[in-house]
Structure 1
Amino acid sequence: MSLLEVKGLRRDYGALRAVDDVSFELEAGTILGFIGPNGAGKSTTMRILATLDTPNAGQVTLDGHSLVDTPDKVRPLIGYMPDRYGTYDDVTVLEFLDFFARAYGLQGRERARRVASVMEFTGLLPLQEKLTSALSKGMKQRVALGRTLLHDPKLLILDEPADGLDPRARIELRELLRALADQGKAVLISSHILTELAEICDTCAIIEQGRLLATGKVADILAQATGTAVAELMVRLYPGEEGEAVWARAERLLLEQPRVKQVAREGEALRVRLEHEGGAAGGWVDESAARVLAALVGAGVPVCAFSHRERNLEDAFMHVTKGRVA
């Protein structure tokens, strides 16, 4: 059984339906990217999952407990980090985290141990005596994440945690989140930076106008949406003295291969589009790539580099949403 199960979630604000029949699951040790344009219903859904809002319909179960019927039982299992989380200006990092540790009911040596452990994990120990108001945006996000981890929750709900961070801070945040998942925590994270999510998420859920359009791995979402699995190969050539004749011969040969639907030249390489009817199951990509490479080498085409390009989260998002409006 999944740690988190969401079934038929609905939230209305008067005539506006912000969340419309949303259902998905999240297992322990997994990072799920929650993706959608502004106003899609991401933050509303996350607030409901954090017990800060009540749905009009649907059920949410966390570790076997109903979030709707028994919110007090599930709150200790949840760590929620909103998109705009402030820190108090007149306190140090240590004082800030210690205050929230007390609020979570931690006492004595256990409280001190837990605060120290969180500061070490988030890299805040050298800054423990520094005022939170003097911290950079990235360090403030670390403090906010540390507060979220103090009570050792099973589920982390992070709403746009990378917003406004510099490249180094984003990389460090990704490493922290991956480490948390490796510890067995389930992580639900939203972001507008799709390349960020693609690098850390195991699965994704795409929402638009309050409706969940697709869930799963990127390749599976694309295959479900089109009924056709798609992959791309990049083939670099060394034309030598033959020049353009090599490019023309290679392109002609590639288009003769099964599952090759398109060949386009990009600089010193050819981008080869492969398609396979019936979804993404099986090792068809490796099989097709091996056949293509063998054909090129067998025909004497001078291949100097050959690689497989995974279709990414941006491809899936643009294909599934298509700018739908209510």
Structure 2
Amino acid sequence: MIRTAGLVKNYGRVTALRGIDLEVPAGAVYGFIGRNGAGKTTTLRILAGLLVPDGGVAEICGRDVVENPRAVRAAVGYMPDFFGVYDGLRAGEYLLFYAATYGIRGERAAKLRDDLLELVELGDKREDFVDTLSRGMQQRLCLARSLIHDPPVLLLDEPASGPDPMARVKMREILKELCRLGKTMLISSHILSELADLCTHIGIVTGGRLVRQGPLNEILAGAAERNIIMRCNEQLPEAVKLVAGWPGAEIVNATKEQIEFRLAGGPADMAGLLRALITLGVPVTHFAQTEQSLEETFIQLAGEGNGA
């Protein structure tokens, strides 16, 4: 549904994108993760048809964003991080205004307005002026605006930035409902814990380069460093010595009955170390990898990208 190949964008002497190759399958909720200035917003603006790339290709639903911008804009709902709102309009009028820009008027527009306000939990705010709404409500109103023409693809730039925790929870539940409705979403955000709860796929961008992308579970499972907890009936100095001297292993903490350590590599490295411990005669009762958080994976992979 969303594809870029070798995407490049320069701002004068500054290169914002250095060959982004993005792949977002249909129905995916794709978390686009990166530090400020990594290139996330520039990528979304190109995909929305608001910026022209200096190199490479960007496509939405198989249509080139430069060669066929009208078709692309019809297929995309774009929610920017910082958005302009018409403060003198009521929330309902705001949606009717944007419906009219897509040629939607009359009873159809009125039904869309009411349905979308209910979807974003603003049904009771239809007659309220936009400038009286909280930031979280304004963000949900902007999300409703991006849905007014029922696009299959949503480009959401920091949709949960700023609001209080309850507002973020509401936004996350709305996005989950859109996922159930079959929307394909590319979401830029720095609230990594919430993306882990929501996304099916992630892409990690740093310095204008995409350093890793794929299904979320594969990214987390494929991290180079694994945190492992090992327990045994009796701690043996030989066990600590073996783990400490094992290639790619680093002990984080060791108690009388437990060793916590990091291990570089994959399942084969874990199996090799466990086999060595058993051969040594260590009475191992628990040996398992702990779940690595999205934040830890991002820090690790972003660091690798900076070092590249």
TM band (smaller chain): 0.7 to 0.9
Query: How far is 1:321 from its partner?
Result: 2.1
Structure 2 gap segments, 5+ residues each: none
Answer yes or no: is 1:178 the counterpart of 2:160: no
Distance 1:314 1:300, change over 3 A: closer
Deviations 1:244-292 (A, max 9, x none): x95669x769959x99945544899754546553xx7x9x98x99x99x
State how far apart, in whole Å, the 2-side matches of 1:119 and 1:104 are.
Answer: 18
Identity of aligned residues (%): 38
State how far apart, in whole Å, the 1-side matches of 2:25 and 2:128 are.
Answer: 37
2:133 corresponds in structure 1 to 135
2:306 corresponds in structure 1 to 324
SS at match of 1:212: strand
Give RMSD over aligned pairs. Answer: 3.7
Matched-pair contact (CA < 8 Å) for 2:16–2:207: yes
Amino acid aligned to 2:114: A
Answer yes or no: is 1:200 the counterpart of 2:198: yes
2:61 corresponds in structure 1 to 63
Aligned partner of 1:125 among 99, 123, 134: 123
Matched-pair contact (CA < 8 Å) for 2:248–2:265: no
1:24 corresponds in structure 2 to 22
Aligned partner of 2:293 among 284, 290, 312: 312
State how far apart, in whole Å, the 2-side matches of 1:270 and 1:161 are.
Answer: 41
State how far apart, in whole Å, the 2-side matches of 1:139 and 1:307 are.
Answer: 44
TM-score norm. by structure 1 comes to: 0.78
Q: How does 1:1-326 map to 2 (within 5 A)?
A: 3-218=1-216, 220-221=218-219, 230-233=225-228, 261=249, 264-265=252-253, 271=260, 273=262, 276-277=265-266, 309-322=290-303, 324=306
Deviations 1:204-246 (A, max 9, x none): 111222122211245644676xxx7544455799xxxxxxx95
Distance 1:236 1:325, change over 3 A: closer
Instruction: Give the number of equivalent residue pairs.
Output: 302
Distance 1:17 1:275, change over 3 A: closer
Structure 1 gap segments, 5+ residues each: 238-244
State how far apart, in whole Å, the 1-side matches of 2:87 and 2:231 are.
Answer: 55
Distance 1:223 1:309, change over 3 A: closer
Matched-pair contact (CA < 8 Å) for 2:45–2:51: yes
